[in-house]
Amino acid sequence: MFHLRKVSRDVARVAVKTRRLSSAPERSLVDLSVDKEGIAIVQMQRAPVNSLNIELMRTICDSVSDLEKDKCKGMILTSASPNIFSAGMDLMELHNPDMKRLEEFSKSMFDLVLKLFGSKIVTTAAIDGYSGAGACVVALALDYRSMTAGKARIGLNDTAVGIPPAKWVADLMTRTMGQRNTELALTSSFMFPAERALQVGLVDEVAKDKEDAVERCKKFIKLYDNILPAVRTHTKLSLRQDFIVEFEKNREQYLKDFMNTITNPAFQNGLDIYISSLKQKKVKAAA
């Protein structure tokens, strides 16, 4: 779930002709809109690479709650950047952390995953660009994923930085990819291009570009037009209840495990080295 690779910093704003649901200051982190068909787009726009901090995760979570209250048909999670879906967890939340904030950070991640995984509406992602670490976990919690071909990559690189993936993360991935594919993905920290991700079940469709990815998400959401929402939701949650119950039962232990991992001196030392290297590259680039 931890991302320690440098990614592109280009960010572009995508204009969407739709009605807005909220003008709250926090919503500057996302662009939330709903079209005439009742399909919402939740577009992450936390520059430069949509790193997941407490505020962004809470904003996404609150946005989904609003959409559920408004009885939207479904939602598409996407990014304002043409190169990055999300770089994963914000390293500044993990580097020499304040313990109280680190605990809130962990709780925010747990809340977001459970909100998406157990949402009453149809949840999808249009992945156009890099989707690493925690962003991959968020995508796995959704009902459907469309990913663009080309340079986009998706996966978990925990083992590459010396960290065993959390049990609940492995369980979530196994539900989507199966035991064998999950084992290979997690032990190797492989970052999947769209075609390979489709082969192992990590994504559901490959799109030619972001617009195509969004349209594929819309088509998936519309598959349920003739299904009663209450019936679809009941069926979905009955099939996912085991994961939700297990997660809630072990939530405190998962929190302790996360806190212990992040505060481990070996992890902090590695993070120190990585952040220092980024600062040096920034200085050289500015020279």
120-152: per-residue pLDDT in tens?
Answer: 999 999 999 999 889 999 999 999 999 999 999
Residue 187 belongs to some domain of the structure: yes
Whether the per-residue pLDDT at 4 is higher than 90: the answer is no
Q: In this predicted structure, what is the pLDDT of residue 267?
A: 86
Residue 8 belongs to some domain of the structure: no
Residue 163 belongs to some domain of the structure: yes
Residue 3 belongs to some domain of the structure: no
At 236 the three-state DSSP class reads helix
CA distance linking residue 52 with residue 54, whole number of Å: 7
The pair of structure tokens assigned to 264 is 């481990």
Q: In this predicted structure, what is the pLDDT of residue 23?
A: 42
pTM of the model: 0.86
Domain count along the chain: 1
Residue 10 belongs to some domain of the structure: no
| Helices assigned H by DSSP within the chain | 54-69, 91-94, 99-117, 134-140, 167-177, 179-188, 194-200, 210-222, 229-249, 251-263, 265-286
Whether the per-residue pLDDT at 202 is higher than 60: the answer is yes
| DSSP codes joined into one string, 177-214 | H-HHHHHHHHHHT--B-HHHHHHHTSSSEEESSHHHHH
Q: What is the CATH number of the domain that holds 106?
A: 3.90.226.10
What is the domain range of residue 269?
19-286
Residue 6 belongs to some domain of the structure: no
Q: In this predicted structure, what is the pLDDT of residue 1?
A: 60
259-274: per-residue pLDDT in tens?
Answer: 999 999 988 888 888 7
pLDDT, the chain, mean: 87
Residue 44 belongs to some domain of the structure: yes
Instruction: Decide if 149 contacts 208 (C-beta within 8 A).
Output: yes
The pair of structure tokens assigned to 205 is 């469709």
Residue 241 belongs to some domain of the structure: yes
Cis previous bond, 48, omega within 30:
yes
